[in-house]
Amino acid sequence: MKKEMRVKDKEGKYFGKIEKLLPASFKHSIRAYNKYRLDAIAAIGDKGMPDLFITLTANSNWPEIQRSLPLCDHENEENYTQTGNLRQECSSIDRPDIVTRVFNLRLRKIEDMIMKDHVFGRVANMVYRLFLIR
């Protein structure tokens, strides 16, 4: 879907840009986030106000992340002179895929604890949203 925005300049000529609007079926589009928000509001109207607000943040020092970090080839002479070896452990900054995978595993574990193990009692509905903060 496209929406055209056109404006006249001082000489009366049209200029502007074509803006692409993605449908709600596209996972990270503005329309999808609006749909998620409306679904959460509808769930509150149907099930009532939420009882819990839980925050989970990733920590690069989690043991699962540290165990999963492979050796990296650093071809930087500065690293070679300091360690005497070009192969050294990667940091979590070098492997964001591992941090993301471990975070998602922990998120699923917490979700299972809440929904299946009922650590907070019976749950009628659960809504969550993920934010990336850099």
For residues 35 and 85, membership in a common domain is answered with no
Task: Tell me the residue type at 1.
Answer: M
For residues 63 and 116, membership in a common domain is answered with yes
- Which domain covers residue 80, as residue numbers? 51-134
Residues 6+ positions from 59 with CB-CB distance below 8 Å: 65
For residues 77 and 127, membership in a common domain is answered with yes
For residues 28 and 61, membership in a common domain is answered with no
For residues 22 and 62, membership in a common domain is answered with no
Distance of CA 3 to the CA centre of its chain: 28
As for how many domains the chain has, the answer is: 2
Segment 28-45, tens digit of pLDDT: 788 888 888 898 888 888
Q: How far is CA 96 from CA 68, 75, 99, 130, in A?
A: 12, 20, 5, 16
Please indicate, yes or no, whether the overall pTM of this predicted structure exceeds 0.95: no
For residues 108 and 87, membership in a common domain is answered with yes
Segment 62-110, tens digit of pLDDT: 899 888 887 665 555 454 445 554 456 678 888 888 889 999 999 999 9
